[in-house]
Amino acid sequence: MKKTMKFGAIALVSAVTVSLMVAAPAKALNCAKPKATVTMLGTIKPEIQDQFLGAVADYNKSQTCFVVKSVPGDRKLTFLQNVTPMYAAKNAPTIMYTLQEIPDMADKVMDLKSTKLARLVSKDLLAAANIGGKQVGVPSTAEAFGLLYNKTVLDKAGVDPKKILTRSDLEAAFKKVEASGAGAVRFSSIWWSLGAHFSNMYFSTASKTKAGRLAILDGMADGKKDLASDPVFKDYLATFELLKKYNQAKPNTTDTEYDLSVADLASGKAGFWFMGNWAEPNLLTASPKTSFGIMPLPMSNTASAYGNGSIPVGIPGYFMIDETQSTSWERKGAIDFLTWLYTSPAGQKRVAGPVSSGGMNFIPVYKGFTIQPETFMAKEISTYVTSAKTLDWMNTFYPAGGQDLYGASGQKLMADKITGAQYAAELEKAWKGSVKTWRGEKK
């Protein structure tokens, strides 16, 4: 999900070229009406901007009814910062893409329940964008996070990631990697990594059932949950301390940390890195011949503890279609574009194909995909998904802006500015009074 969690799908895009009007046989759509321009804010993620714009150009060439146009958002701004002025100016984009702001948008976007796309994806993956029975969004891809590793470093140190089942196994592996001459682990002091992803390691393992996990969020919002007395939270803190102890670099809270971490894992200066599969293209660009894998972050010392052998897999964002400022013909175009992107052979090639040949390297979430990503890490994720060793992304339910606060607290803990107990107290304080959007509550 990457930095984009906050910056959403908004990318600074240069003006998009208007499509070439190559006559193509009209498909099932009856194109009686004049051509409509369908706008989309951003390009899903800035990292795959060129590939996405390539897909848009392909789509525009493939039919004669609609022109899809990506309108640039400001990448430094959040989704709401970009979208509110557009709504105020009666110039709302037709297609929008975001995650945590979905509840804020629910009353402005259309119900996608009866679309082909919604039928092609499992109910679980639609859940986060189902607000009070209204299907306000459809997913883009699945992403996973956990401990990324450099296979070359681990092979040299004699570490088999499949055999790391507990926290003490992990420490032993760290020691072996250090003994082999590399740094053990990169634990990046990046606010969105600590605030959204690392914190999720607690919330997604705090209970075995979904109901139980949501109840924990209720407790946090009500100010009743006592983190310090929760054994899972104790394990979570112990894992935090373990990664901190073996962190190969000094905590760096500045904007350089992501790139420096990529460089260190890619060059083998570190064996592991707590991050997600969105970093794989960056790693492969830095070191094309190395294999980079992903493994669970074991938090408990009991191998069978819930979540110890699983990785959090989730949807980084959902597409929504505006209903208040667009015409029905524009909405039709928006649905047609998204359907083309995920169901047509040309669209699927753009979605799941390798980055080097114009694809976005996305892990498909829709049924009927004929193309699958081929990279080492993507294949590993598929194994976890097919063997049902996945954890929820509870961070999908975090209140807007919450991850900023949990991330800042995580950075403080990493820099020894606060203790574990203070960290727990800060999390409790930041959560208290949050609107329970996971229960359908409105702000």
Partner 1 sequence: MNTGYKVRKFGIFAALPLAIFSVVLVLPFAQGFFLTFTNWNGFKYTEFSGVANYTKSFKDPAFWTTLSFTLKFVVVSLVAVNVVAFGLALLVTAKLRSSTILRTFFFVPNLIGGVVLGVIWQFIFNTALISISQRYSLPFFSDSWLNETTTAFWALIIVTVWQSSGYMMIIYITGLISIEQDVLEAARVDGASAFRTLMTIKIPLMAQAFTISLFLTLRNGFMAYDVNVALTGGGPYRTTELISMHIFQDAFAFGNFGTGQSKAVIMFLMVATAALVQVSISKRMEVQR
Applying CB under 8 A, the residues found at the interface with partner 1 are 6, 76-78, 80-81, 84, 87-88, 101, 104, 108, 191, 250-256, 399-401, 404-405, 408-409, 411-412, 415, 417, 443
Cβ nearer to partner 1, comparing 372 with 422: 422
**How far is Cα 262 from Cα 273, in angstroms, rounded to an integer?**
9
In angstroms, rounded to a whole number, what is the distance separating the alpha carbons of residues 159 and 166?
A: 14
**Residue 428 Cβ, how far from partner 1 at the closest point, in Å?**
15
- Cross-strand bridge partners of residue 148: 273, 294
Shortest Cβ 83–partner 1 spacing (Å) = 9
Closer to partner 1 by Cβ: residue 4 or 277: 4
Q: Measured from the CB of residue 82, what is the shortest distance to partner 1 in angstroms?
A: 9
CB of residue 401 to partner 1, shortest distance in Å: 3
CB nearer to partner 1: give 54 or 251.
Answer: 251
CB of 88 to partner 1, least distance (A): 8
CA angle 82, 83, 87 (to 5 degrees): 135
Report the nearest approach of partner 1 to the CB of residue 404 (Å). 6
Residue 87: which H helix or E strand, with range?
helix 79-88
Q: What backbone phi and psi angles, to 5 degrees, belong to 160?
A: -105, 110
> Which lies closer to partner 1 via its Cβ, residue 254 or residue 304?
254
Strand residues in 344-415 grouped as ranges (E): 390-391
Residue 137 beta carbon to partner 1: minimum distance, rounded to whole angstroms: 17
Q: Which is nearer to partner 1, 59 or 397 (CB)?
A: 397
The encoded tokens of residue 387 equal 């063997």
| Residue closer to partner 1 (CB basis): 115 or 253 | 253
- For 135, the enclosing helix (H) or strand (E) is strand 134-135
Q: Quote the CA–CA distance of 390 and 383 in Å, as a whole number.
A: 10
Long-range (24+ apart) CB contacts under 8 A made by 164-168 are 164/295, 164/298, 165/298, 165/303, 165/308, 165/309, 166/298, 166/300, 166/301, 166/302, 166/303, 166/308, 167/235, 167/238, 167/239, 167/242, 167/298, 167/299, 167/300, 167/301, 168/301
Cβ proximity to partner 1, 90 vs 162, nearer residue: 90
Quote the CA–CA distance of 211 and 208 in Å, as a whole number. 9
Question: Min. distance of Cβ 250 from partner 1 in angstroms?
Answer: 7
Residue (260 or 385) nearer to partner 1, CB: 260
